[in-house]
Amino acid sequence: MEIVNIDDEAVARLHFSHTTEYRYSGPVEFGRHRLVMRPRETHFERVEHMKITTFPESRLHWFEDIYGNIIASADFLTQSDTLSIQSEFEICKYLPTEPTIGAEVLAGEEYPVYYPGLEEGASHLYRRSVYPTEVEGVRAWVRSLGILPPTGTRGPIFLSLASAINEQINYQRREKPGVQSPLETLRKTSGSCRDTAVLMMEAGRCFGYATRFVSGYLESQNSKVGRGSTHAWMEAYLPDRGWTGFDPSIGEQAGVGHVAVAVSNHPRGVMPISGSFTGYGNKSAGMTVAIHSRRSGPGVQE
């Protein structure tokens, strides 16, 4: 059996800094905060270093959640009228050597999908709809696109689906937390990256595919000048390729510029920062977020 290796040199090194600052009308006491900020690692992605800095000072406890995400619990030591959390990391991206897979695999996904053996049971959570009352509506919309191949054949289902969502749904950045339901996004023909990721995730589940929500970062022109934002896309579990990322907000497969931080069967499970405070009459006075990226590697001039 041939082992697929990675190139000796990283194709790119991505550096990200992410600073979130909360302000309050007076000193408050902070409860435990949950920080979902450490990038995920795979055979092709390796975190070289990472640092989390908080003000006020905090004690961090690291653990792995049920989805394999690395989480930090922060216990703050003093009161303050400002809470600042900064994450800085460098991640190396590698490309696989030329894979020896047949043309039938490159042609697309098998339809209908079949998960063999233990994978069928393990994939159940990722095949169950988050919006069960909207399944038939989403299924009808996918069928109207004409992207499903004949039964028993293959086709580029998810790439075509990402492209269709990108064409039909206008990107709209929303600061309000939460996501739109799939049919709401279709009705409005607009949504954030979170909304289009959920739409595509639910569309795959309508036809039996295991899919999951991904939260992280996307290298962009905005992030290069310090005006970036967190990003979301989805992954489909394909029996011959494993978890494969697709980004409907740009209509493409996830690439080198995507940095996954957390995955979940439900979009609520991947908020970067969550926690509480006791104000004693004081209240929140606003929040600012700054995300900056830069790239180094072969052929890149810094």
pLDDT in tens, 14-60: 999 999 999 999 999 999 999 999 999 998 999 999 999 999 999 99
Structure letter (DSSP) for residue 267: G
Amino acid letter, residue 221: Q
The two tokens of residue 147 are: 């992207």
Give the DSSP H or E segment for 157.
helix 157-168
Q: Which of 219, 242, 271 is nearest to 115 (CA)?
A: 242
Phi, psi of 301 (to 5 degrees): -100, 120
For residues 238 and 186, what is the distance between their CA atoms, to the nearest angstrom?
A: 25
The two tokens of residue 268 are: 């609520």
Which residue ranges make up each domain of the chain? 12-94+271-296, 103-270
For residues 11 and 296, what is the distance between their CA atoms, to the nearest angstrom?
A: 9
The two tokens of residue 129 are: 């709809």
pLDDT at 176: 74
| Residue 279, number of CB atoms within 10 A of its CB | 13
Instruction: Assign residue 61 a region (left: φ > 0; alpha: ψ between -120 and 50; beta: otherwise).
Output: beta
The two tokens of residue 100 are: 């020896």
The two tokens of residue 155 are: 């086709």
pLDDT in tens, 147-186: 999 999 999 999 999 999 999 999 998 777 789 999 999 9
As its CATH architecture, domain 12-94+271-296 has: Sandwich (2.60)
pLDDT in tens, 61-96: 999 999 999 999 999 999 999 999 999 999 999 876
For residues 253 and 250, what is the distance between their CA atoms, to the nearest angstrom?
A: 9
pLDDT in tens, 224-276: 877 789 999 999 999 989 999 999 999 999 999 999 999 999 998 899 999 99
Q: Which of 28, 82, 31 is nearest to 54 (CA)?
A: 82
Kindly report the pTM of this predicted structure. 0.92
Length of the chain: 302
The two tokens of residue 259 are: 């940095």
Q: 103-270: what fold?
A: C8orf32 fold (3.10.620)
